[in-house]
Structure 1
Amino acid sequence: MSTIDGLPAHILLVHAIVVLLPLNALLLAVSAIWRQARRRLAGANALLAVVVVTLVPITTDAGEWLERRVPRTDLLRAHTELGDTALFVALPVAVLALVVWWRQRENAIATQPAESDVDGPTAGGTATMARTAVRRRTFLAPASKTVTTVIAVLAVLAAGAACYQVYRIGDSGAQASWQGKFSSEPAPRGGH
């Protein structure tokens, strides 16, 4: 994908990454730390993480296409080198978002009561259903506070690194695009 409606695709796609990757990182940190948020946000954030990880190489590829069509400068070179690191911060966020979602899913399934057979008639003559917790196999230790803490710490670190790197990449792109190309004084308006 090189252009969208006549504009370089990179300048449009980059806005999705600048918004969605930090949002994904923030939701990861919140859902890793806060149990109620995890119940509500983990699934949606895991889906968002897959979208972001898919968009990053598409955006990078569009940026490489654009790079071959503009004058080479040191600022552009710095931006493209930083842009190549975006996937390295998006992947840990995505992996951890999937881990948080999977653990939430395992926890919900593991603690879900299951109906057993009818116990038989009671003193009043009606049958009762016994509800017992069924132990199911889990893979990511959803009940372990230690594992939850480790994942939360990793999530906060990955989220912070992703947000910082997105800032660095975006700033270098803005410098490459705009440095020396505007005036601090308003341009004179014609006709008046």
Structure 2
Amino acid sequence: MPEFIGGLPVHPLLVHFTVVLIALSVAGAVLSAVWPAVRRRFGWLVFAGSALGTVLVPFTTKSGENLAGRLPGSPQINEHERLADLMIWWALGLTVAVGVLMVVHTMAERTVTSKVAVGAAGAEEEVPQEAGRAPALVAIVLALITVGVAVGAGIHVYRVGDAGARAVWEGVENLPAQNGG
């Protein structure tokens, strides 16, 4: 993987793409978990976004390690790296939680057709029947797990980003006044 694209380090480019995917996946996971209409319409899209974000995390952390190797060490960079190394577990957990939620949801929504004999001649007719729905307790537990992992992933991606921003910007002179003053 190249370390620079057009003179810019790859790490900030990958970071922004990864963070946007994970943040959207977090929001989508929470909405999918608590709102069945969103789950039916966008659940698999949320899963795909989360899976892509998970795949990007190792590339993002590797590009960060490459960039850190070019810089003098600092406690802020070390903290950012420590937190970033944990991001894969949160992203993977989010992907698994959304995936399980969607598999159970899809199985519960599936209808089965069965052939039923009708009439004296024994003609068969296909009759749609609902598949066995997942018990309400299973759906509630999966929704709670999904929301919990999503919130944890959202908090962790914020912590990693905050530590990275502090590593870059703390101590930089001539910053504009904060909060209007």
Question: TM-score normalised to the size of structure 1?
Answer: 0.82
Q: Is the 8 A contact 1:31 1:41 kept in 2?
A: yes
Structure 1 partner of 2:16: 15
Aligned to 2:94: 93
Alignment correspondent of 1:131: 127
Which of structures 1 and 2 has the bigger CA Rg?
1
Give the total of aligned pairs.
Answer: 175
Q: Are 1:43 and 2:39 counterparts?
A: no
**Could you tell me which of 162, 166, 171 is aligned with 1:180?**
171
The structural deviation recorded for 1:176 is 0.5
1:147 counterpart residue number: 138
SS of corresponding position for 1:84: helix
Are the equivalent residues in 2 in contact too, given 1:42–1:104 (CA < 8 A)? no
Equivalent-residue separation in structure 2 for 1:130 and 1:84 (angstroms): 54
1:168 and 1:46 map into 2 onto residues whose CA distance is 23
Matched residue SS, 2:171 = coil
Post-superposition CA distance 1:71-116 (Å, at most 9, x none): 111111111111111112111100011111111221122xx14263
Tell me which protein shows more helix as a share of its residues: 2
Once the two structures are aligned, what percentage of the paired residues are identical? 32
Alpha-carbon displacement from aligned partner over 1:141-174 (angstroms, at most 9, x marks no partner): x521111111111111111111111111101111
Asked whether the equivalents of residues 121 and 128 of structure 1 are also in contact (C-alpha less than 8 Å), the reply is no
SS at match of 2:146: helix
> Given the alignment of the two structures, is residue 163 of structure 1 paired with residue 164 of structure 2, yes or no?
no
Q: Is contact 2:11-2:60 (8 Å) kept?
A: yes
- Using the TM superposition, give the Cα deviation of residue 129 of structure 1 relative to its aligned residue in structure 2, in angstroms: 3.8
SS at match of 1:11: helix
Alpha-carbon deviations, 1:121-150, whole Å to 9, x = none? Answer: 89xxxx8844142757xxxxx521111111
Question: Which residue of the partner structure matches residue 68 of structure 2?
Answer: 67
Tell me which moved more, 176-185 or 30-39: 176-185
Quote the RMSD (CA, aligned, Å).
Answer: 2.3
* Consecutive aligned runs of 4 or more in structure 1 exceeding 6 Å deviation: none
Q: Is contact 2:116-2:125 (8 Å) kept? A: yes
Please say if 1:3 is aligned against 2:8: no
Contact 1:119–1:130 (8 Å) recurs in 2: no
**Structure 1 residues without counterparts, runs of 5 or longer:** 137-141, 187-192
Which letter maps to 1:163? G
